[in-house]
Amino acid sequence: MKAKLLRFVHLALAIFVASASAYPATAPAGDGLRISGVVINAVSGDPVSGAEVAIGFSQKQDVVASVSTASDGSFEFRGLQAGKYWLVAQGKSFSRQGYQQHDSYFTGVAVGKGLESTDLAFRVTPDASIGGTISDDANDPVADARVLLFHTGVDEGKRSTTLRGQTTTDDDGKYRFSHLEPGTYLIAVSGRPWYAQYVNLAPAKGENRDQRSPLDVAFPVTYFSGTTDGDQASPIQVRGGEKATADLQLTPVPGVHVIVNGADDSKSGISISMVQQIMGTSVPPVGSQVTALPNGQYEVAGIAPGQYTAVVQTYGKGQANHQRQIDLAQDAEINTEDISAGAQISGTVTLDGAPAATGGVVRLMNHDSGDTLQAVIDSKGHFTVNEEMIAAGHYDVAIFNVPDTAVKGMLATGARITGLSVEVARGATVQLSLALIRGLGQVDGVVMRQGKPVAGAMVVLVPQDMDNNIGLLRRDQSDSDGTFTLRNVVPGEYNVLALESGWDMEWRSPGVLSPF
């Protein structure tokens, strides 16, 4: 369904805090107000009996009351105070869902004189699942295989493929992902042949280095429905309540070995791994093994041919992280001096010129992949991103767990800054300085159509140069009385859009919101 613009407003926001909601939770008890309705299966249209329905005051987590639906799916809450309430339901085969939920937003129910809070149609979607059996070329089950589940589609305004879960197969090669939302999914599997045997390439005295065991094999990463090329993976479309089956057969190939030279360091620990990118997620191969050889070399075995990132980490006083991308079509040797240092990100966070509160979290989100990096702020206002691999790319920077603050400005050495985004190059050492601001604003409003309130609309506060200031964007969903609240707004110029059926839009993509 095409999105329709319901309201457009241009704001120049100064530092202020808007007034509280018109329906305070502190209204006298026993106002005799009600919330009632019917819980309905969104797929079949049937009423859902025995579902648990709960309510609570908006902006608070505590449950005020809960009931079970009757045989006709009906529920009712009596004697309520005037105010705004969240409304959720869950039941057998139905995960917890909010009223008119989209993403993490749902419609609050406004209760008060002259407001409609009864006869609600609360549609809930039944859980879906994907399961299957992983076998080898002899049709034997592959136990302990790693099965990755990816969701592909529009998520938080951007088309992306993101990891949604992972599990391992049981002794019969079976796996299952339950409690899934409707959508499009991809499956990737990696495992180790039960009979695989690896012989070191570096020969012992009197042995031939070219001798290879026929059991020196590995499974390449395989995608449903049977390809080893991620671009050719078959999507699995599941609807609410559907139980999809995705069986896969893994075919062994001759394994490749990698000799790492110059990695010996007896004074500190060392870690060597070969990491693959599977749908943008860094994953080490299942069953790979690293052996320290007598001559100071290290050997990596148990991997199939393919593209990898060699990651060499040293610990102790000389701690370092080195990475190199390699295309392994056959056995290879690499030297540590040829492996470049991985990107490193650290920095400081200040609030009013002093170190920010301990326990705050700095989050960097990759603009393209959606992957996030996080670091906790220490007592001196310092943070360090402790990730084995930090991919080059464009990252949006935001702060969490420091109440009533937001990132106002940012400086960097070793990287380029645009707005609240930072461009990290491969192997760069990046030092960030983040300045937080207090006195955040709040935007309250009402979405109307022909004089009547509109519930469930997506309301977006769009900053100038949105592509480089995504951390300033704020969203909400209009409540049953059409009202919305955009909180923690950094002072500046914005446009406010109210969109009907805009939840599946790629609104983070440049130009998508321009027509509105």
- pLDDT string in tens for the chain (516-residue length): 556 566 555 555 443 333 333 334 333 455 689 999 999 999 999 999 999 999 999 989 999 999 999 999 999 999 999 999 999 999 999 999 999 999 999 999 999 999 999 999 999 999 999 999 999 999 999 999 999 999 999 988 888 898 999 999 999 999 999 999 999 999 999 999 999 987 766 555 445 555 678 899 999 999 999 999 999 999 999 999 999 999 999 999 999 999 988 766 555 677 888 889 899 888 888 888 888 888 878 899 999 999 998 888 777 655 667 778 889 999 988 887 766 666 789 999 999 888 887 889 999 988 777 788 999 999 999 999 977 678 788 999 999 988 888 888 899 999 999 888 999 988 788 999 999 988 889 999 999 999 999 999 999 999 888 878 888 889 999 999 999 999 989 888 999 999 988 888 888 776 787 776
Show the tokens assigned to 223. Answer: 């995608």
Q: Give ranges for CATH 2.60.40.10 in the chain.
A: 24-124, 254-341
441-446 vs 393-400, strand pairing mode:
unpaired
CA 171 from chain centre, in angstroms, equals 30
C-alpha distances (whole Å) from 30 to each of 82, 197, 229 are 9, 73, 63
* 128-253 topology per CATH: Immunoglobulin-like (2.60.40)
Record: fold of 344-437:
Immunoglobulin-like (2.60.40)
- As annotated, the residues of the chain forming the CATH 2.60.40.1120 domain(s) are 128-253, 344-437
Indicate the SS3 state at residue 68: strand
Residue given tokens 């461009």 in the structure block: 423
Read off the tokens for 50.
């025995």
Q: What is the pTM of this model?
A: 0.85
**What whole-number distance in Å separates Cα of residue 166 and Cα of residue 154?**
21
CATH architecture designation of domain 24-124: Sandwich (2.60)
Fold of 254-341: Immunoglobulin-like (2.60.40)
Rounded to 5°, angle at Cα 145 from 153 and 372: 40
